[in-house]
Structures are given as C-alpha cells and as structure tokens.
A = this chain, B = another copy of it.
C-alpha cells in the first residue's frame, strides 16, 4: 500500500484531483497541494471543504513550490511523506517532477506529455524525446510512473487496450474522437491553458498511418460522425500524446486523434495563427520590448477555470476501433459522455477538467492498492484496463460501448 498524495498544480484539473482525492482519502491518506501560487492551492482547499468532499477526517494542506526546482520538490515529497505524486501542473515541469519521484521512490502520475517551452510538435514518437529516456531508470529503481493518465491520453488508452484484449483478433485502426459539445457562453475561450492548447495546433499534425508517421497541417483532414448524445459532429485530425504511445505499444497500423471544433473556433484560431499571434517565438515591439505573442493571447483570454460556472452541455470522447474478430469485420465505439454542469456541481470545475482529473485519481487509487503499482514506467495501455474502467464507472466517468449489439454501459466485475 502506497499512501499520502502530493498534487502538483492548482488549475482546473488540480481542483478536480483534489476533490476526488478527498472523496477517497480513506485509501489515499494525507493530501498536499503545491503550486508556485499558494493562494490558488488555498482556494482549492476552501472549495473541497465547502463541498464537504473529505470522506474521512484527514490532512489537506497547501504548499508554495517551484516544481522546476527538483531539490525543493524532493524536500516537499519527504516532508509530506507522499508516496503518490499526481502532477497536473504545466506541461513544462514533467521531467523535473519525475526526477524528484525517481530520487525519492514516490509513484509518479501525470495527464499530459512533457513539453519544452521553446519547441512545438517535435519528432515522433514524442514520449521518446523525454519521458521514455527515464524508463530504464524507473525499472532499475522500482519506481512506478504512469504516464498520461487523464482522459485523452489516459482513459482512451485503456479503451484501446480493452478493445485489443477483449474485442478483436486484429485491429486495423483506432480513431480517438474528442467532442466537446458544451458551451461556455463567451466570445472565445480555450478549455485549458491557452498556451498549451494552441501549441497543439500550430505545428505539424502527426498521425500513425499504414505503420508509419504521417504529417499533415492542422484543419487539413476532417471527419464527420454521428455520435451518441452529441449527435453529428465534425472533428479534425490533431496531434496528440496517445498516438505516440499506442503506435509503439499496440500492433495497430493506424492510430489517429480527432478533435471537434466549431467554425467559430477555427476562424479565431486561423486569424491568430496567420497573423503570427500564436507563435512561441518572441517578437520585439516598436518600443523595444521583447514578448512572446502567445503569452499575450493567453493574457487576454478568459482564465479556463473561470468558465466553469456557466458551462453547459456535454462532452463525448471515445475510441472508434475497426478490425477483425473470428474472420469478420468488426467495429466498436467505446466512449464516455460527461456533463459540464454535473461536473461543476460536484467539484466546481467544468467537464474538460473533470474528465482529465478523475482518471488520475482512479489510477492513484489503483497504485495505492497495488493493482497498478508496477514498479516501472508505463503508458496506460500497458496496464490491465478493467480495474481502472470499473473504478471510473464508480467515480463519475462510466464507460459505454456502441457495436453491433447496440449502445450500452460496460461493467467489469
């Protein structure tokens, strides 16, 4: 049994993680929340206490931490006696937090891939550029590191593993489709950090097709699907973390990621991108001030966490898997539908944060209990999916399947 959780980060996803850890603090033990901005941690703690999320009496504390400082992070892990670290901070801190975990033996979990602030859309597979370089070290030291265990990446990797293990003899294609049919009522906003959000779209779109890496531009390739609950939706091929691990870990010739965008989003994105305002490279103003345009765009956009109170509608995220079973063509869509308002009522965050945060806590519980405490570095598809998906059924993210037998809940008992 591993015990005591250190949550790094204090954004919308961290808020969900804190609430869900509190709801399971009989298993997870003490909860520490650390961020550069301790006030944001304290704000989350107030929300957890206000909603009465703590299952049993326990410790819930805020800490100021620069997570790029490995020694400081190690010291906090030791001070809080945390055996579980859930990193839901900026994508730029993964490698330093991972180092702190390797040095202290704490289990490491995150929900998104590491990024270098000065680079976008690096050479695939992305995990090989950073995280996987520490895989041998994790194994050697017996440190459990579960990469990308949010919803996508994360739950969709478990869906892929489930399809691979239970539904198919061979898989030809996995198309991960992410639709947010919700509405925040603002002129324009991103659902998570605009800087990270836009960085996904300004470079090449990498997909795994016919067993090789294929490059496209954003909004170059689209598809339209009639999906459960959210209906007919157009989505665009997008570069995304899970394509880079699924292509390596499963024998599947085609792995693609598709994200839904409305025409308004695409118009705003296209204008900003064509003007150069989404660039991560600094420009110099006429007055001589050096500034990164993307950081200014971030500064003028709404804080994603501010969207939650007014967010309505649903998300639908799932894996459309095609292949062969018993010599026959087969197609399944394994998915979840989440509701922004329901998420807000439960944990004070909108659905995008909810779907990213809940799986990380489910994974932490599985590590705490031993089911997933694998003493090495893994991506989610390398782990048994059933206990994870069953726990998510109970924690607010139920799995459903649509196939030749109809559209129904999946349970794993």
Contact = CB atoms under 8 A, between A and B. Distances in A.
A20 to B, nearest CB: 26
B275 A187 contact: yes
A289 B283 contact: no
A296 B283 contact: yes
Interface in A280-314: 283-287, 289, 291-293, 295-301
Interface size on A, as a range, is 20 to 34
A275 B287 contact: no
Interface string A185-203: 0011000000100000000
B295 A287 contact: yes
Contact of A285 (B187, B272, B286, B298): B298
Instruction: List the number of copies, as a whole number.
Output: 2
A271 interface: yes
A274 to B, nearest CB: 5
Contacts of A285: 291-292, 295-296, 298-299
Contact of A271 (B195, B271, B283, B296): B271
A187 B298 contact: no
A276 interface: yes
A25 to B, nearest CB: 31
A295 B293 CA distance: 10
Contacts of A188: 271, 274-275
Nearest to A287: B295
Interface in A328-385: none
Nearest to A268: B271
A120 interface: no
Interface in A249-284: 267-268, 271-272, 274-277, 279, 283-284
Contacts of A279: 300
A187 B271 CA distance: 9
Contacts of A267: 267, 271
Contact of A284 (B275, B277, B299): B299
Contacts of A274: 187-188
15 contacts: A187-B274, A188-B274, A268-B271, A277-B296, A277-B300, A283-B299, A283-B300, A285-B292, A285-B295, A285-B298, A286-B298, A289-B295, A291-B291, A291-B296, A296-B296
Interface of A: 187-188, 195, 267-268, 271-272, 274-277, 279, 283-287, 289, 291-293, 295-301
Given A277-B297, A286-B298, 15 more contacts: A187-B274, A188-B275, A267-B267, A271-B272, A272-B275, A276-B300, A277-B300, A285-B291, A285-B296, A287-B295, A289-B289, A291-B296, A291-B299, A293-B296, A293-B300
